[in-house]
Amino acid sequence: MVASMDSQFEEVKKVFKSGDISNTIGSLDEILTGLSKDSDQTKYIQFLEEILATCREKQLKEEEALVLRTLGRIHSIFNQHIESLNYHRESLKLQRKLGRKSDIAMGLVMLGEDLEIAGQYDESLEAFKNAYDIFYELGKRRRTKEIQKEIARLEEFSREMEQDEFYLKKFNLPRD
């Protein structure tokens, strides 16, 4: 599988050298789904940073936003959540300027996932709710159902946390 991913990665690099940035990003997204924490993160991150520099140099804002989101994803895969959050936030800021609602909603979902991992449950819930609203407005019912499940799960988790906190205080128990 590693050899296959390496050959796919080499093909993606060729697409980038040909100047087709949109297809480069799309093809790279496919590779990322097969990455694990044990993969060589350096080569992927450096390549994405090279693409990002090209996008900024050529003022390709839509592609830049997608590369930033992809950088957020790859940092998340490698458990580098602070970097991931920073890239997702930067991508979202740019997506909002561009006004592409579907991309904004996807960015909010990815941000919500990383915020949850970082333990920022209230912000995560807010990101998911905002994504839900956008997908609902766009008529993406399947996506709204998926996000609705995430929201319900996070709300249940928050209730449990509040209840645990209540009992800890009520009975003066140590936290751990």
Q: Is residue 6 pLDDT above 80, yes or no?
A: no
Based on the structure, what is the number of domains in the chain? Answer: 1
Computed on alpha carbons and rounded to an integer, the radius of gyration of the chain in Å comes to 19
Q: What angle do CA 88, 90, 94 make, to 5 degrees?
A: 115
| Whole-number Å distance between alpha carbons of 122 and 116 | 9
The pLDDT value recorded for residue 173 is 64
Picking from 9-23, 56-70, 139-153, which range would have the lowest pLDDT averaged per residue? 9-23
Q: Residue 83 falls within a domain, yes or no?
A: yes
- For the chain, the average pLDDT equals 88
Q: What is the pLDDT of residue 77?
A: 85
Does the residue 133 lie in any domain? yes
- pLDDT at residue 50 above 90? yes
Residue 64 belongs to a domain = yes
Domain interval for residue 99: 2-170
137 inside domain: yes
Instruction: Inform me whether the pLDDT recorded for 101 exceeds 90.
Output: yes
In 3-state terms the chain splits into helix, strand, coil percentages (rounded to 5) of: 80, 0, 20
49's tokens: 């940073």
175 assigned to some structural domain? no
Judge whether 176 lies within some domain. Answer: no
- Look at residue 67 and tell me whether its pLDDT is greater than 60: yes
The verdict on residue 37 lying in a domain is: yes
Q: Is the pLDDT of residue 4 over 90?
A: no
> What CATH number has the domain bearing residue 112?
1.25.40.10
Residue 86 lies in a domain: yes
Across the range 78-92, mean pLDDT stands at 93
For 109, counting Cβ atoms within 10 Å of its Cβ (0-12 exposed, 13-18 middle, 19+ buried), the class is buried
